[in-house]
Structure 1
Amino acid sequence: MKKTGAKFMVVLIGLVIIFKTQLTNLVNKIFEKITSESSGI
């Protein structure tokens, strides 16, 4: 029981790290779009 719990935690942390990276990339892309559009005005 304890071993599966530890494995689950490792998988969960791995997913969080991957998701955080994807989210950061997405936010950066949105910011780039906003800044390029506002500078074009």
Structure 2
Amino acid sequence: MNLFFANLYLMGLDVKDRLTRDDRGATAVEYGLMVAGIAMVIIVAVFAFGDKITDLFDGFNFDDPGGE
């Protein structure tokens, strides 16, 4: 019977530790990984489509404000 109560007490301590744990550092790391992933996607997109976008904008005349 004492073993049962000892295990119950230890389970209660484990639950308390899980509920009061400070996970702010882990969350910051996760956001950092997400930002790094998004930056990688942007870099790949710029290298993959950069020339096509440059060619697209080369067709416009931005020096003439009147459009003539």
Question: If the TM-score is normalised by the length of the shorter chain, which range does it land in?
Answer: 0.5 to 0.7
Structure having the larger proportion of residues in helix: 1
TM-score (ref. length: structure 1): 0.64
1:32 Cα deviation after fit: 3.2
Q: CA RMSD in A?
A: 2.3
- The percentage of aligned residue pairs carrying the same residue is 16
Gaps of 5+ in 1: none
1:33 is matched by which residue type in structure 2? Answer: K
Q: Which has the larger radius of gyration?
A: 2
Gaps of 5+ in 2: 1-19, 57-68
Equivalent residues, number? 37
